Amino acid sequence: WYHKPVIDEELLRSLPNLKIVASSGVGIDHLDLNLLSRYGVKVSNTPFIVSNDTADLGMALMLASSRRLVEGYEMAVSPDTEYFPADWLGAEVSGATLGIVGMGTIGYKVANRAKAFEMKILYHNRNQRNKEEESAVGAIYCKKIDDLLQQSDFVLLSVNLTPQTHKLIGKRQLQLMKPTATLINISRGLVVDQDALVEALQNHVIKAAALDVTYPEPLPRGHPLLKMKNVIITPHIGSATKKTRRLMMENMMESIQAGLTGLPIPNEVL
């Protein structure tokens, strides 16, 4: 649960009867699959259960960031506020261009939602989706991530963390983005070069960021990202709803029970 306890060689050696590790959530970047395989331990995750909530949170972050919801809240409740100035404005979501990096289950659900806001949708993925899937959400494939970055008002990251996606968004990618663009991360902190992000935000290379994930979590208390007005951070709550967490737990139970009785394991990670 939340990637704990840490599974290392020492732990595996001390548990001779361990049959299965059930991991909450969909990401498995915190597990050494080769190591677990060597010890004959099976692994499961909870892939599809988390998709709706995570897509919802991606939309929540995009809307909150563009409309300056958190800043607005602070103005609305601040003891110093006497009036709401007319020239205090945010940016429009409806009709803007959303670039989705990683069009898996979660990315596709984000596209579905964004379409209802009349957004123009671009996406970058290892593989192109088929024509029906693309036209259902009006999404245009960008074979090169650079094309997506240059045209998007919002760049949303919904890839899983692999050696290929580690620091996928670095200084070069941030500089390709529009200075009016917002970066939204609902994948893993390590997909973004965090130091480059800080610099890009400080120098107005991009306009804003909204991050449900960072590296580490939580960030050290003096970290510059915590103080920036144009950054919203949430504490990795992509799947944090009562209903979904309960379903996750039930899924994990099913996987564990199957693993212990030698039956085929639902949501096994191979």
Partner 1 sequence: MGGGELPGLLVNEIGGIHGILHGHVAFLKKHFYLITMKEFLENKKHMSEKVQAIYLWWHKPVVDQELLQSLPNLKVIANSGVGMDHLDLKLIASFGVKMANAPRAVSSSTADTGMALLLASARRLVEGYHLAISSDTDYCEADFLGVEVTGATLGIIGMGRIGYKIALRAKAFEMNILYHNRTHRKEQEEQAVGATFCETIENLLQQSDFVMVVVSLTPQTHKLIGKREMELMKPTATLINISRGAVIDEEALVTALQTGVIRAAALDVTYPEPLPRDHALLKLKNVIITPHLCIKTDKTTYMITKEAVENILAALNGLPMPSEVLPN
User: In terms of CB distance, is 64 or 142 closer to partner 1?
Assistant: 64
Q: Are 7 and 21 within 8 A, CB to CB?
A: yes
CA distances (Å), origin 27, targets 175, 182, 189, 194: 28, 24, 12, 19
The least distance separating partner 1 from the CB of residue 91, rounded to whole angstroms, comes to 6
Residue of 162, 152, 231 whose CA lies nearest to 191: 162
Nearest residue (CB) to partner 1, 96 versus 148:
96
What whole-number distance in Å separates Cα of residue 76 and Cα of residue 159? Answer: 36
Phi, psi of 85 (to 5 degrees): -70, 145
Q: Which is nearer to partner 1, 8 or 88 (CB)?
A: 88
Q: Which of 93, 209, 248, 252 binds partner 1 (CB under 8 A)?
A: 93
Q: Considering only 7-15, 51-59, 127-135, 166-174, which stretch makes contact with partner 1 by CB under 8 A?
A: 51-59
Is residue 140 helix, strand or coil? strand
| Whether 133 is catalytic | no
Catalytic residue among 217, 223, 245, 254: 217
What are the backbone dihedrals phi and psi of residue 42, each rounded to the nearest 5 degrees, phi first? -85, 160
Q: Residue numbers of the site for partner 1 (CB under 8 A)?
A: 1-2, 52-53, 55-57, 59-61, 63-64, 66-70, 72-73, 75-77, 79, 81-95, 112-118, 217-219, 221, 226-227, 232-237, 240-245
Q: Which positions are catalytic?
A: 188, 217, 236
